[in-house]
């Protein structure tokens, strides 16, 4: 278990000290459960019932998550089922991601929390700096893309084809893809860090002609990668294990954002809210098929 983390003495930020909850899910969850729990945590933060929370988690079975307004028709549902992948729609924007062999992070906080306050890009920049600091603890010199980068109309259905503003790259290849949802009283940002495996597997379940799949597969292989590749280590190396990466990223958040991260459980009320969201939204065909 990760103990309470505080790197305040090392920080150069002007943020006042704060305490956030740290949740490291030991057991992977389904796609619907993960998306519902992220939203439940954000709603609890908005209501003042829970502290700002940094959560790290995994997916089982693997799942393809769609951006909030991404057409379901961009996914070959039969192919996804044949591979054993669930399909879920996020509450956040962006394009499709295959969640497999990865660590996912989520930040849920009230909208007036200084570290997420302001516009979308303001929060993206601060959280990207925290992610970079965490990767540096693993020995990786990663970068963030320029704030002027935007997704164009010709970007494919795959999230990792190209980085957006302030997303994380290593040696010019996209490493962490993130998405954010801002409501009147909360901010939710989550992102995917592939630890190992073939980043191009998503192409297998996109509804594209064979020739287009070949082109996109080649582009993804060139433009994106996983953490093991970025570090130049074997896929079974301890440094790219879920627990090791979660601990490093947690330290990066604490150091960069002047936080004490205090491990804490998900509350019974949050679990009840997540169960309701699973039924009414994330495992509901009406939601998944809404675009």
For residue 150, the model assigns a pLDDT of 46
pTM, two decimals, is 0.91
Residues 6+ positions from 279 with CB-CB distance below 8 Å: none
For residue 3, the model assigns a pLDDT of 60
Whether residue 98 contacts residue 62, with contact meaning beta carbons closer than 8 Å, is answered with yes
pLDDT band at 167 (very low <50, low <70, confident <90, very high): confident
pLDDT band at 147 (very low <50, low <70, confident <90, very high): low
Please state the rounded mean pLDDT for residues 3-16: 58
Euclidean distance between CA atoms 217 and 203, whole angstroms: 6
For residue 165, the model assigns a pLDDT of 73
Considering the segment(s) 5-288 as one domain, its CATH architecture is 2-Layer Sandwich (3.30)
For residue 116, the model assigns a pLDDT of 97
Please state the rounded mean pLDDT for residues 105-116: 97
Only one residue has tokens 């700002």, namely 52
Catalytic-residue membership of 45: no
Euclidean distance between CA atoms 1 and 70, whole angstroms: 37
For residue 88, the model assigns a pLDDT of 98
| Marked catalytic residue, from 98, 159, 205, 208 | 159
Whether residue 71 contacts residue 49, with contact meaning beta carbons closer than 8 Å, is answered with no
pLDDT band at 146 (very low <50, low <70, confident <90, very high): confident
pLDDT in tens, 255-280: 999 999 999 999 999 999 999 999 99
Coil, strand or helix at 42: helix
Residues 6+ positions from 230 with CB-CB distance below 8 Å: 140, 142, 170, 171, 173, 175
Whether residue 192 contacts residue 58, with contact meaning beta carbons closer than 8 Å, is answered with no
Q: How many CB atoms lie within 10 A of CB 210?
A: 7
pLDDT band at 145 (very low <50, low <70, confident <90, very high): confident
Reply yes or no on whether the pLDDT at 185 is more than 60.
Answer: yes
Reply yes or no on whether the pLDDT at 202 is more than 80.
Answer: yes
Reply yes or no on whether the pLDDT at 239 is more than 90.
Answer: yes
Please state the rounded mean pLDDT for residues 94-123: 95
For residue 162, the model assigns a pLDDT of 47
């Amino acid at each position: 278990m990760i103990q309470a983390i505080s790197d305040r003495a090392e920080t150069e930020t002007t943020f006042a000290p704060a305490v956030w909850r740290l949740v490291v899910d030991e057991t992977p969850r389904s796609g619907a459960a993960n998306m519902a729990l992220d939203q439940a945590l954000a709603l609890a933060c908005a209501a003042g019932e829970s502290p700002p929370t940094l959560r790290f988690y995994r997916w089982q079975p693997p799942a393809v998550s769609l951006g909030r307004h991404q057409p379901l028709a961009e996914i070959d549902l039969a192919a996804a089922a044949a591979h054993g992948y669930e399909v879920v729609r996020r509450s956040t924007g962006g394009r499709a991601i295959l969640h497999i062999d990865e660590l996912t992070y989520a930040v849920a906080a009230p909208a007036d929390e200084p570290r997420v306050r302001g516009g979308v890009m303001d929060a993206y920049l601060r959280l990207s700096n925290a992610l970079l600091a965490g990767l540096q603890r693993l020995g990786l010199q990663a970068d963030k893309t320029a704030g002027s980068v935007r997704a164009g109309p010709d970007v494919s259905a795959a999230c990792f084809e190209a980085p957006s503003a302030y997303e994380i790259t290593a040696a010019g290849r996209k490493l962490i893809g993130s998405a954010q949802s801002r409501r009147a009283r909360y901010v939710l940002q989550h992102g995917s860090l592939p630890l190992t495996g073939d980043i191009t597997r998503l192409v297998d379940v996109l509804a594209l002609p064979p020739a287009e799949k070949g082109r996109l597969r080649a582009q993804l292989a060139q433009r994106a990668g996983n953490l093991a590749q970025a570090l130049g280590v074997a896929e079974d190396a301890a440094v790219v294990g879920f627990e090791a990466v979660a601990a490093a990223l947690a330290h990066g958040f604490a150091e960069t954002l002047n936080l004490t991260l205090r491990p804490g459980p998900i509350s019974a009320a949050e679990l009840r809210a997540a169960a309701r969201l699973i039924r009414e939204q994330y495992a509901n065909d009406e939601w998944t098929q809404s675009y």
